[in-house]
Structure 1
Amino acid sequence: MTTLRVLITDADNRSALAATRSLGARGHAVVIAAERHPALASVSRYASAVESCPNASTDPQGFVAAIMQIVARQRIDVLLPMTEITTLLLTEHQHLLPEHCRLPFPPMECVARASNKAYVVQAADELGVPTPATRIVNSSKEALALAETLEFPAVIKPARSRVQTPDGWISTAVSYAASREIYVQRVQSLRAEEYPLLIQERIQGPGVGVFACFDQGQPVAWFTHKRIREKPPSGGVSVLRESAPLDPAAVDHATKLLTHLGWHGVAMVEFKRDDRDGSLRLMEINGRFWGSLQLAIDAGVDFPALLVEMAAGRHPAPIAAYDVGVRSRWFWGDVDSLLTVMLRSRAALNLPPNHPGRLRTLWNFLKFGGKKQRDEILRWNDVRPWMLETRRWLGGK
Structure 2
Amino acid sequence: MSHIILGGSANALAIARLLKAPNSIILDFNDCSPAMSTKYAKGLRLLSKNEQEVLETLLSLKAPPPKTLYPTSDYWVEFIAKNSSTLQEHGFLFFKTPYNCSETILDKLKFFQIMSPCFPTPLTRLADKAPTRSEEIIKPRKSFIDSSLVDKGFLYTTKYVRNASTYVKQQRLNSNIYNHLSIAGLFLAGKLHTVIYTRKLLEYPHPGGTAVMVSTIDSEEIRARLRKLAESALRHISYEGIFELEAILEDETLWLIEINGRFWLQHAIGEQLGINFPKLYHQALTGCITPTEAKSRVTALWIHEGLPLAFLKAPSYMKKIVLKELLKKRNWAFAHIDLKDLTPFIKFIRCKLKK
TM-score by length of 2: 0.86
Structure-to-structure mapping, 1:278-289, within 5 angstroms = 278-289=252-263
Moved over 4 A (4+): 353-356, 365-370
Match of 2:160 among 170, 189, 213: 189
Match of 1:317 among 283, 290, 303: 290
Q: Is the 8 A contact 1:211 1:222 kept in 2?
A: yes
CA shift at 1:105, angstroms?
A: 4.4
Question: In structure 1, what is the Cα distance between the partners aligned to 2:72 and 2:100?
Answer: 18
Question: In structure 2, what is the Cα distance between the partners aligned to 1:265 and 1:54?
Answer: 29
Match of 2:281 among 307, 312, 316: 307
Query: Which is further off, 154-163 or 111-120?
Result: 154-163
Structure 1 residues 52 and 243: alpha-carbon distance in aligned structure 2, compared to 1, 3 A threshold: same
Question: In structure 1, what is the Cα distance between the partners aligned to 2:261 and 2:225?
Answer: 20
CA shift at 1:163, angstroms?
A: 3.3
Is 1:171 matched with 2:150? yes
Is 1:152 matched with 2:152? no
Question: In structure 1, what is the Cα distance between the partners aligned to 2:295 and 2:115?
Answer: 28
Question: In structure 1, what is the Cα distance between the partners aligned to 2:223 and 2:168?
Answer: 29
Aligned equivalent of 1:64: 55
CA shift at 1:78, angstroms?
A: 0.9
CA shift at 1:229, angstroms?
A: 1.8
CA shift at 1:172, angstroms?
A: 6.3
2:158 match: secondary structure: helix
CA shift at 1:189, angstroms?
A: 3.5
Is 1:51 matched with 2:49? no
Is 1:391 matched with 2:350? yes
CA shift at 1:112, angstroms?
A: 1.6
Structure 1 residues 322 and 121: alpha-carbon distance in aligned structure 2, compared to 1, 3 A threshold: farther
CA shift at 1:237, angstroms?
A: 1.7
Aligned equivalent of 1:272: 248
CA shift at 1:273, angstroms?
A: 1.3
Q: Is the 8 A contact 2:4 2:27 kept in 1?
A: yes
State the number of aligned residues.
347
AA matched with 2:292: I
2:264 match: secondary structure: coil
CA shift at 1:38, angstroms?
A: 6.1
Rg larger for:
1
CA shift at 1:267, angstroms?
A: 1.2
Aligned equivalent of 1:119: 110
Question: In structure 2, what is the Cα distance between the partners aligned to 1:69 and 1:52?
Answer: 14
Is 1:381 matched with 2:340? yes
Deviations for 1:192-226, whole angstroms, at most 9, x for unmatched residues? 46346243133323201111311243321111112
Q: Is the 8 A contact 2:202 2:213 kept in 1?
A: yes
Q: Is the 8 A contact 1:80 1:104 kept in 2?
A: no
Structure 1 residues 211 and 369: alpha-carbon distance in aligned structure 2, compared to 1, 3 A threshold: same
Aligned equivalent of 1:180: none
Is 1:31 matched with 2:25? yes
Q: CA RMSD in A?
A: 2.9
Gapped runs of 5+ residues in structure 2?
A: none
Aligned equivalent of 1:201: 172
Question: In structure 1, what is the Cα distance between the partners aligned to 2:335 and 2:236?
Answer: 33
Match of 1:84 among 69, 74, 79: 74
Gapped runs of 5+ residues in structure 1?
A: 178-185, 342-350
Structure-to-structure mapping, 1:128-143, within 5 angstroms = 129-132=119-122, 134-137=123-126, 140=128
Deviations for 1:10-32, whole angstroms, at most 9, x for unmatched residues? 12x000000001111xx453122
Query: Which is further off, 15-24 or 219-228?
Result: 219-228
AA matched with 2:191: Q
Question: In structure 2, what is the Cα distance between the partners aligned to 1:28 and 1:365?
Answer: 40
Question: In structure 2, what is the Cα distance between the partners aligned to 1:262 and 1:7?
Answer: 25
Q: Is the 8 A contact 1:7 1:80 kept in 2?
A: yes
